[in-house]
Chain A
């Protein structure tokens, strides 16, 4: 009962899609599912729904950044998040590997230097291949792709303009909003918008950002500042208060401590007041130092804002259809089944209130949603014990509760924290400093000693934590960890050997063998 795509509905001509009241028998919609937003959550949902033989459409549109940067299908993760971030992080790690290699007998002529454009091109080409890959996948699964910026005209209708200005209307039985977020700009800093860039721009720069100031204490800030330092750039991080708010603070401190010894400069307890452009084209930044109560200034080639991300819901027209959002964050309020306040309208991913802003959770939630809508499943997404990793120069992986959250929930008398400072074997010959290589396991103190949280700083932290996250999903206890034999020699084996408690006050430094 569906007309050809783009053709006016039967019985309506141009007015057919115009006015439709919310209640009453729904007229036949063109699609079973329309997904607004072609990122991690949206694409996963759309592809899964298509597996059930449903008629699915995806709308994706990238509003260019203030600096004019734009990108293809795939969302934040693919274009301006996880993927380019990890690749540039890898470039930085390889810089360290070059230094290590000399200790291991490799003769490399000095000087060694890094060329941004070679790296950027390699990364950008790979991202473009992913954009292409997603287009092909949608085609193969017969999902219709619209490169338009959609907005609601009623609960089953979304319309928008293509880049060429053509008006397009799409109707669907079910709509999933997965438009994600975009970096915030500080509103109270003169020159922030004109002269600063964000992560949206960083990964697409054709030329090196040069001497860079990264403002913010988020993982975005630390990860970017980290790899910029690693490729040899003069990099400073400006933080207003604590690093990695929401993460375990002891671990967050170790991350920033390592970055300092790595060469990243930190301006702590400082916040910018204005950014001006100099005749030399450099940027002059003025800031307040809250501790010293002074005003300071310095010049940089690039100023990057990493002060948080916000959902882009203004142009969606959510008020028109009554989708409720959180007044403070602007995020869409959903229940455990990802349903919004409007029937048949759902939301997944970074745009949803109270959810982790992570690709794997968006993907999983999107898939499960499609399974519930079209596959007779009733399984809800489990947001508990989601593991994550901060890809700072010394990586930090974690799953479960931070120590502070565990103390708050259970009381310090009821938890036991096992910890260890260790040295990766590969650091020995390389003469690398392992001061911040550390791990801790937060357990309930009572008989079973269930594991509440696991935190690991060191190389390949993501690889280490993933399997343990599985264990925690299975209700792993401390004795079960101790029964697991280690793989030798690895860093991960130290998790199975944790035995010194914080409570004991003993020195937690362990030796490998």
Chain B
């Protein structure tokens, strides 16, 4: 939501944002900028400070807890490398969570300072449009203020979806609650097959908890399905239970506590079968919904997709109302990623106030899923490449690899995998890159840059590898063409 200032002064731009970049960008051009940020507490009562999803309940705590899980594995490996310590090693949830929350607190603070240093006015208030160029901001105490601004940028992001079944809001947690949970979640049922579900299930299992994932149909919808299945297989082999083709129909409390005991009843999607299970915690990760329904968009005539709640924009992030823009997770048909939001926000402001013309390039945006076996990707999945270009026009090069660091501790030697998809008709241009292995994000980033430069298979073959690292396997010429989906 955007905000505007009362009485005398009027804002050039008013932004309600979860991530701060665009607001600071605007302030650089000496525009009068205001930010409204407000976090409606979760059904469980969780809330957080300035910075948005990524900082508070997304990327940052997720990666830190993933790191905690990876360190658990490192402890086991280290014995084979000569390190000695007691057999029994336990994990303390509170130690980890406190450290993570302290770090997040420092980021919230850092944003407050950055806004102040850049002379951006910040209000911790809930914004909603009440009329053209006019916004109402309501703070925690219920005090309302009105502001006007020349332009508005909506960047309210999303919140986790609930199932709409008995007991979901009363007893279930979401990712909004998990990262600040003041007690160990214990035996956990994760409902969903999104990357949020798999990443959370992954690190909870890595910390030693009994974890089950309940999946309605496929894993990681929208991602390359071969890679998605490999991720699932790996998780299964490493202690995560999967219940496939079931959906919960009710959640009941058996015992109160922190954690308590919950009973989940689930129904098969393929028939009438019903199952029950008891868990300390039920974590819902079935998707996220945009925060666009209650911010008064109808008062100013901004169109939204009625079904999804997402806002359609043109390629300059402009809504159907010329002075209102939108960036981030709420955009229709755009990627829900922090770096994309930051990029889009920054470029938007430069176009508005610095005479720039560069638009955000949403093509070939790389991403990484931080599951126990990490998955980095850029460009087309194999299925979409086949769909778009035709089976006979693409070539797929692939290879399994065994990270050197996994040899001595005798870890899996056939799980890590890399796949490159080339467009035969366009000089064997690399149109898809997929890697499953340690540090997948670090590996993928540079490849994404190369793809942006129009990388072809020949250029790949002509680049010398760095030895010994995982990334070099992606360029090694022993990748063999396997035909299509074969």
Q: Which of A100, A428, A471 contacts B71 (CB 8 A)?
A: A100
Tell me which residues across on chain A come within 8 A of B450, comparing CB atoms.
467-468, 470-471, 473-474, 476
The answer to whether B464 and A364 touch across the interface, beta carbons within 8 angstroms, is yes
The answer to whether B454 and A474 touch across the interface, beta carbons within 8 angstroms, is yes
Residue in B closest to A87 when the chains form the complex, CB atoms: B408
The answer to whether B464 and A91 touch across the interface, beta carbons within 8 angstroms, is no
Tell me which residues across on chain B come within 8 A of A465, comparing CB atoms.
446, 466
The answer to whether B92 and A474 touch across the interface, beta carbons within 8 angstroms, is no
Indicate whether B320 reaches chain A with its CB closer than 8 angstroms.
Answer: no
Indicate whether B296 reaches chain A with its CB closer than 8 angstroms.
Answer: no
The answer to whether B85 and A112 touch across the interface, beta carbons within 8 angstroms, is yes
In the complex with contacts A470-B446, A490-B442, A511-B110, A122-B81 CB distance below 8 A? yes
- Write the B394-435 contact mask toward A (1 if CB under 8 angstroms, else 0): 000000000011011100000000000000000000000000
Tell me which residues across on chain A come within 8 A of B96, comparing CB atoms.
104-105, 429
Instruction: Give the contact stretch, choosing among B136-144, B275-283, B335-343, B382-390.
Output: B335-343
CA distance A130 to B292 in the complex (A): 59
In the complex with contacts A86-B404, A106-B89, A480-B449, A358-B441 CB distance below 8 A? no
Indicate whether B59 reaches chain A with its CB closer than 8 angstroms.
Answer: yes
The answer to whether A513 and B81 touch across the interface, beta carbons within 8 angstroms, is no
In the complex with contacts A465-B466, A489-B60, A513-B107, A115-B446 CB distance below 8 A? no
Q: Which of A86, A429, A464, A490 contacts B103 (CB 8 A)?
A: A429
CA distance A476 to B463 in the complex (A): 13
Indicate whether B238 reaches chain A with its CB closer than 8 angstroms.
Answer: no
Residue in B closest to A389 when the chains form the complex, CB atoms: B466
Residue in A closest to B107 when the chains form the complex, CB atoms: A513
- Write the A359-371 contact mask toward B (1 if CB under 8 angstroms, else 0): 1110010010000
The answer to whether A359 and B469 touch across the interface, beta carbons within 8 angstroms, is no
Q: Which of A112, A466, A486 contacts B474 (CB 8 A)?
A: A466
Interface size on B, residues (CB 8 A): 86
The answer to whether A113 and B84 touch across the interface, beta carbons within 8 angstroms, is yes
Most buried by A among B340, B368, B469, B470: B469
Indicate whether B314 reaches chain A with its CB closer than 8 angstroms.
Answer: no
The answer to whether B466 and A470 touch across the interface, beta carbons within 8 angstroms, is no
Tell me which residues across on chain B come within 8 A of A103, comparing CB atoms.
95, 99
Residue in A closest to B114 when the chains form the complex, CB atoms: A511
Residue in B closest to A107 when the chains form the complex, CB atoms: B90
CA distance A195 to B340 in the complex (A): 59
CA distance A463 to B401 in the complex (A): 14
Tell me which residues across on chain A come within 8 A of B82, comparing CB atoms.
91, 114-120, 122, 231
The answer to whether B67 and A426 touch across the interface, beta carbons within 8 angstroms, is yes
CA distance A490 to B440 in the complex (A): 9
Indicate whether B467 reaches chain A with its CB closer than 8 angstroms.
Answer: yes
Indicate whether A136 reaches chain B with its CB closer than 8 angstroms.
Answer: no
Tell me which residues across on chain B come within 8 A of A336, comparing CB atoms.
none
Most buried by B among A87, A98, A104, A397: A104
Q: Which of A101, A105, A481, A486 contacts B93 (CB 8 A)?
A: A105
Tell me which residues across on chain A come within 8 A of B365, comparing CB atoms.
485
Tell me which residues across on chain B come within 8 A of A489, comparing CB atoms.
59-60, 63, 441
CA distance A359 to B107 in the complex (A): 43
Indicate whether B305 reaches chain A with its CB closer than 8 angstroms.
Answer: no
User: Interface of chain B, helix or strand or loop or mixed?
Assistant: helix
Q: Which of B441, B446, B468 contacts A469 (CB 8 A)?
A: B446
The answer to whether A490 and B368 touch across the interface, beta carbons within 8 angstroms, is yes
CA distance A73 to B469 in the complex (A): 22
Indicate whether A382 reaches chain B with its CB closer than 8 angstroms.
Answer: yes
The answer to whether A104 and B71 touch across the interface, beta carbons within 8 angstroms, is yes
The answer to whether B84 and A95 touch across the interface, beta carbons within 8 angstroms, is no
Tell me which residues across on chain B come within 8 A of A388, comparing CB atoms.
466
CA distance A495 to B446 in the complex (A): 9
The answer to whether B91 and A107 touch across the interface, beta carbons within 8 angstroms, is yes
User: Interface of chain A, helix or strand or loop or mixed?
Assistant: helix
Q: Which of B84, B91, B439, B459 contacts A474 (CB 8 A)?
A: B459
Indicate whether A484 reaches chain B with its CB closer than 8 angstroms.
Answer: yes
The answer to whether A87 and B91 touch across the interface, beta carbons within 8 angstroms, is no
The answer to whether B468 and A122 touch across the interface, beta carbons within 8 angstroms, is no
Indicate whether B361 reaches chain A with its CB closer than 8 angstroms.
Answer: yes
Indicate whether B453 reaches chain A with its CB closer than 8 angstroms.
Answer: yes
Indicate whether B181 reaches chain A with its CB closer than 8 angstroms.
Answer: no
CA distance A513 to B17 in the complex (A): 14
CA distance A90 to B409 in the complex (A): 11
Tell me which residues across on chain A come within 8 A of B39, comparing CB atoms.
none
Indicate whether B209 reaches chain A with its CB closer than 8 angstroms.
Answer: no
Q: Which of A77, A120, A359, A471 contacts B446 (CB 8 A)?
A: A471
Tell me which residues across on chain A come within 8 A of B472, comparing CB atoms.
360, 466
CA distance A469 to B449 in the complex (A): 10
Residue in A closest to B460 when the chains form the complex, CB atoms: A470
Most buried by B among A98, A385, A467: A467
CA distance A109 to B339 in the complex (A): 40
CA distance A425 to B66 in the complex (A): 11
Most buried by B among A82, A87, A389, A473: A473
Indicate whether B465 reaches chain A with its CB closer than 8 angstroms.
Answer: yes
Indicate whether B229 reaches chain A with its CB closer than 8 angstroms.
Answer: no
Residue in A closest to B335 when the chains form the complex, CB atoms: A485
CA distance A198 to B226 in the complex (A): 47
In the complex with contacts A97-B71, A360-B466, A463-B453 CB distance below 8 A? no
CA distance A483 to B452 in the complex (A): 8
Instruction: Give the contact stretch, choosing among B72-80, B161-169, B214-222, B252-260.
Output: B72-80
The answer to whether A91 and B446 touch across the interface, beta carbons within 8 angstroms, is no
Indicate whether B448 reaches chain A with its CB closer than 8 angstroms.
Answer: yes
CA distance A495 to B447 in the complex (A): 12
CA distance A114 to B83 in the complex (A): 4
The answer to whether B452 and A104 touch across the interface, beta carbons within 8 angstroms, is no
CA distance A487 to B445 in the complex (A): 6
Indicate whether A267 reaches chain B with its CB closer than 8 angstroms.
Answer: no
Tell me which residues across on chain B come within 8 A of A476, comparing CB atoms.
449-450, 453
Tell me which residues across on chain B come within 8 A of A104, comparing CB atoms.
64, 67-68, 71, 95-96, 99
CA distance A387 to B471 in the complex (A): 12
The answer to whether B74 and A429 touch across the interface, beta carbons within 8 angstroms, is no
The answer to whether B459 and A97 touch across the interface, beta carbons within 8 angstroms, is no
- Write the A25-44 contact mask toward B (1 if CB under 8 angstroms, else 0): 00000000000000000000
Tell me which residues across on chain B come within 8 A of A109, comparing CB atoms.
85-86
The answer to whether A460 and B442 touch across the interface, beta carbons within 8 angstroms, is yes
Tell me which residues across on chain B come within 8 A of A279, comparing CB atoms.
none
The answer to whether A426 and B339 touch across the interface, beta carbons within 8 angstroms, is no
Indicate whether A83 reaches chain B with its CB closer than 8 angstroms.
Answer: yes
Tell me which residues across on chain A come within 8 A of B449, comparing CB atoms.
467-468, 470-471, 476, 480-481, 484, 495-496
Most buried by B among A480, A492, A495: A492
Indicate whether A94 reaches chain B with its CB closer than 8 angstroms.
Answer: yes
The answer to whether B453 and A105 touch across the interface, beta carbons within 8 angstroms, is no
Indicate whether B273 reaches chain A with its CB closer than 8 angstroms.
Answer: no
Interface residues of A in 448-488 (CB under 8 A from B): 460, 462-471, 473-477, 480-481, 483-488
Indicate whether B366 reaches chain A with its CB closer than 8 angstroms.
Answer: yes
The answer to whether B446 and A98 touch across the interface, beta carbons within 8 angstroms, is no
CA distance A360 to B469 in the complex (A): 11
Most buried by B among A114, A386, A397, A474: A474
The answer to whether B339 and A83 touch across the interface, beta carbons within 8 angstroms, is no
Indicate whether A108 reaches chain B with its CB closer than 8 angstroms.
Answer: yes
Tell me which residues across on chain A come within 8 A of B207, comparing CB atoms.
105
A-B residue pairs in contact (CB < 8 Å), sample of 27: A82-B468, A90-B408, A104-B64, A104-B68, A104-B96, A106-B68, A108-B89, A112-B83, A113-B84, A119-B81, A122-B409, A360-B467, A388-B466, A389-B466, A425-B64, A462-B469, A463-B442, A464-B443, A467-B448, A470-B446, A480-B453, A481-B449, A484-B366, A485-B340, A487-B448, A493-B339, A513-B60
Q: Which 5 residue pairs across A and B have the least CB separation, nearest first?
A: A467-B446, A119-B82, A105-B96, A466-B471, A492-B445
| Interface, chain A (partner B; CB < 8 A) | 77, 82-83, 86-87, 90-91, 94-95, 97-98, 100-101, 103-110, 112-120, 122-123, 126, 231, 358-361, 364, 367, 382, 385-389, 397, 425-426, 428-429, 460, 462-471, 473-477, 480-481, 483-493, 495-496, 511, 513
